[in-house]
Amino acid sequence: MTTSIVLDDVTKTFKLRFHRTIKQMSVAKVRGQETSTSFKAVDGVSFTVEQGEAIGLMGLNGSGKSTLLKMISGVMKPDEGSVLTRGRIAGLIATGAGFHPQLTGRENLYLNAAILGMSERETARKFDDIVEFAELGSRLDTQVGHYSSGQNARLGFAIAIHVDSEIFLADEALAVGDKPFKRKCLAKMSEIRDSGRTIFYVSHAAGQVRKMCDRVVVLENGRLAFDGGVEEGIRFLHYDGDDDEELTDEETGDDI
């Protein structure tokens, strides 16, 4: 099999400052107090992903999932270690990322598509399909600054899902939006998975991970805590059965 992603001892460190102004920092230094501290959002993570694998990236809030995904996408660079990827990367790593609030949905569609590597000709060819998937109607020519979080997610996901790529990343892409749109997104992601593209899917929803993924990677405090089968990974996290029941209803199309 062809290797799609390789992470080798990847570490990302951030600095947390205790004071906002220069005056506050100066006073703290005079008093001998700390003005900042460093923490590792991702700490020595290593694993390999083969082309066509569907990975569920899971963990509690603050475990480093989004930071790791941003390094895989190239938005961030690791402070230590290396991240190697093969082929074009597309996806939704933040709702409305790359959107300009004063531009319309139509204008942002072209802008965001360009950021994701689509040519103007390619965007024009896929324009109608993107608009139809987003289901924004007349809101397409409204400034994105007036969109709800759900409408931002619709447009962002609709653009990302139509980018031709070898790797597709989704960071809680289905956390915002109504049930019919979530089901449509899951169906489209299933098509992507079945086409042989690599999927990295960040989610707290055990039911969705069961449906979409064939492997689970779990982070705890920035470190790799588990890498293996889907059911084993979900049990490792101790996710409760109530969440699974609700998600199963969503996936099958039944109203709760």
Percent of the chain with pLDDT over 70: 84
Within 10 A of 134 (CB to CB), how many other CB atoms are there? 22
Please check whether residue 200 lies inside any domain of the structure.
Answer: yes
Is 50 exceeded by the pLDDT of residue 21? yes
Is 90 exceeded by the pLDDT of residue 12? yes
Q: How far is 177 from 173, CA to CA, in rounded Å?
A: 9
pLDDT band for 106, please (50, 70, 90 cuts).
Answer: very high
Q: What is the pLDDT at residue 249?
A: 40
Please check whether residue 83 lies inside any domain of the structure.
Answer: yes
Please check whether residue 11 lies inside any domain of the structure.
Answer: no
| Average model confidence (pLDDT) across the chain | 85
Helix orientation angle between 105-115 and 149-161, rounded to the nearest 10 degrees: 40
Q: How far is 77 from 231, CA to CA, in rounded Å?
A: 32
Is 50 exceeded by the pLDDT of residue 33? yes
State how far the alpha carbon of 241 is from the alpha carbons of 206, 234, 245, in Å. 9, 11, 6
Within 10 A of 124 (CB to CB), how many other CB atoms are there? 12
Q: What is the pLDDT at residue 248?
A: 44
Is 60 exceeded by the pLDDT of residue 256? no
Please answer whether residues 95 and 123 qualify as being in contact, where contact means their C-beta atoms are separated by less than 8 angstroms: no
Query: Which residue type occupies 39?
Result: F
Q: Residue 18 contacts by C-beta under 8 Å, 6 or more apart in sequence?
A: 28, 33, 34, 35, 36, 37
State how far the alpha carbon of 173 is from the alpha carbons of 48, 138, 185, 253, in Å. 23, 23, 9, 18
State how far the alpha carbon of 80 is from the alpha carbons of 7, 16, 39, 83, 131, in Å. 11, 19, 14, 10, 41
CATH no. for residue 82?
3.40.50.300
pLDDT band for 239, please (50, 70, 90 cuts).
Answer: confident
Q: Which residue has the higher pLDDT, 85 or 149?
A: 85
Please check whether residue 31 lies inside any domain of the structure.
Answer: no
Query: Considering only CA atoms, which of 71, 99, 102, 56 is closest in space to residue 8?
Result: 71
Please answer whether residues 247 and 206 qualify as being in contact, where contact means their C-beta atoms are separated by less than 8 angstroms: yes
Q: Domain span at residue 159?
A: 51-252
Is 50 exceeded by the pLDDT of residue 250? no
Helix orientation angle between 120-134 and 149-161, rounded to the nearest 10 degrees: 130
Please check whether residue 20 lies inside any domain of the structure.
Answer: no
Please check whether residue 28 lies inside any domain of the structure.
Answer: no
Q: What total number of domains does the chain contain?
A: 1
Please check whether residue 13 lies inside any domain of the structure.
Answer: no
> What pTM was computed for the model?
0.79
| Tens-place pLDDT, residues 52-82 | 999 999 999 889 998 999 999 888 999 999 9
Within 10 A of 179 (CB to CB), how many other CB atoms are there? 15
Please check whether residue 246 lies inside any domain of the structure.
Answer: yes
